[in-house]
Structure 1
């Protein structure tokens, strides 16, 4: 009988231990999933917020020079011409178009590369007037001919 009790108690103990391990593992996975997805969801909300603002603020056939957010904006604003500042250094920027940029955030990483080259060229050759402040430090500028 003692052996039977110990044997039965052992199974009971391992059953409870297994249940505890499964609960802990699921809890850790749930917490890790939440922590991993938070930046992704925050980025998605930022992209949607900026796209909604641009949809309301800009004409449907506008030309927008953008970097970093351009891929999402092409999805959310299909009728708008969105030109990527990374793909090439643009020799000129058309009057009446728009420039979406976050200079403080992008300067250090992209110094000497197309996004900053385009930003500096636009500031040198055109007049960028602030059109709208957007979340997370993004600014929308309207491109005008430089005043002489």
Structure 2
């Protein structure tokens, strides 16, 4: 689901990065791909550590992305990766990072209505690694 979601909004998000943050088209495209990877890894890490309540609040629309420390950690890693991997100036990365991750989380929240929707998003193999039977409760995010 995450890959499909990113693909469906990639053109819009790439355009936003070019217009709002003056990124070159190739850099903006790579920034969206990097956001997908960083977000996917961050969500998987949160799920395997059992800290998924806050993420679920964001995905269900109960809280904004920046109100959750887990999402802010993902934003911080993404900002760092924008600078180190793509050469985006730090001042722009600090503005673009929260925008991109919040944009994707908002789009994702429209797709997730329950814990049952999350496991597929996280992909195969995680179900058995999740604590306390959480794997049985989650379903659909990273397909």
State if a TM-score over 0.5 links the two structures: no
Q: TM-score, normalised by structure 1?
A: 0.26
Indicate the structure (1 or 2) with the bigger Cα radius of gyration. 1
Q: TM-score, normalised by structure 2?
A: 0.27
From the two aligned structures, give the one with the greater helix fraction. 2
Larger relative contact order (Cα-Cα within 8 Å, sequence gap ≥ 6): 2
